[in-house]
């Protein structure tokens, strides 16, 4: 069986959610210097293409690992957890709260003159909720790390991660709507 190189492997990190962003960026810079296409300008065309391909994959890896949402999505997929399309349902209470927040955003955006204090307050509240969700995601990934692969409650933690990622997606949409002109 061949080992598939994932975004964690490509930058030399273990498959875990809790990573040091500075270390990720340093690893990216070091590896990108090794494979930069400029160093292969006099090489055979196959080596040039390989360099371009690897540089492109490194760019994709840094983009995914640098951003917590994408890093969690990638890690959950590698662990065999549910995708967003496999687990769409959210609690009715959560959906009702999101609807209320959306209505509050519309009221704030429609207010004349614009209530910048209300916008700032709601933005901070949504960002805090998002931060709290990522904290829960990190806790669930940490629990999974401590479990043997065959542990029966791994799937429960993966479902909780998916639920939090789905919530973050809603919150990101609300933030985008709140801050757009």
Each residue of 80-106: pLDDT tens digit? Answer: 999 999 999 899 999 999 999 999 999
pTM of the model: 0.87
- Final residue before a domain boundary, out of 17, 50, 66: 66
Q: Are residues 46 and 103 in the same domain?
A: no
Q: Are residues 104 and 56 in the same domain?
A: no
Both tokens assigned to 124: 């901070």
Query: Which residue would you say has higher pLDDT here, 132 or 42?
Result: 132
Contact in structure between 161 and 72 (CB atoms under 8 Å): yes
Contact in structure between 65 and 8 (CB atoms under 8 Å): yes
How does residue 1 score in pLDDT terms, banded at 50, 70 and 90? Answer: very low
Q: Are residues 97 and 162 in the same domain?
A: yes
Q: Are residues 161 and 104 in the same domain?
A: yes
Average pLDDT of the chain to the nearest whole number: 91
Judged against a pLDDT cut of 70, whether residue 4 lies above it is answered with no
Model confidence pLDDT, tens digit, residues 160-174: 999 999 999 999 999
Kindly compute the dihedral angle of the four CA atoms of residues 124, 130, 135, 138, in this order, to the nearest 10 degrees: -150
Rounded distance between C-alpha atoms, residue 100 and residue 95, angstroms: 9
Domain encompassing residue 142: 92-179
Is 32 contained in some domain? Answer: yes
């Amino acid at each position: 069986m061949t080992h598939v190189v994932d975004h964690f492997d490509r930058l030399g990190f273990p498959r875990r959610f809790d990573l040091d962003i500075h270390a990720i960026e340093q690893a990216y810079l070091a590896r990108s210097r090794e494979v930069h296409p400029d160093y292969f300008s006099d090489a055979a065309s196959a080596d040039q293409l390989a360099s371009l391909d690897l540089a492109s994959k490194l760019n994709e890896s840094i983009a995914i690992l640098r951003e917590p949402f994408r890093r969690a999505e990638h890690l959950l997929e590698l662990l065999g957890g549910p995708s967003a399309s496999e687990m769409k349902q959210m609690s009715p209470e959560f959906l009702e709260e999101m609807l209320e927040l959306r209505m509050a955003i519309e009221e704030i955006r429609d207010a004349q003159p614009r209530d910048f204090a209300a916008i700032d307050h709601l933005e901070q509240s949504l960002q805090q909720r998002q931060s709290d969700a990522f904290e829960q995601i990190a806790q669930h990934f940490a629990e999974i790390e401590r479990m043997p692969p065959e542990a029966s409650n791994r799937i429960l933690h993966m479902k909780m991660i998916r639920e939090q990622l789905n919530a973050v997606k809603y919150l990101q949409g609300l933030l985008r709507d709140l801050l757009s002109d």
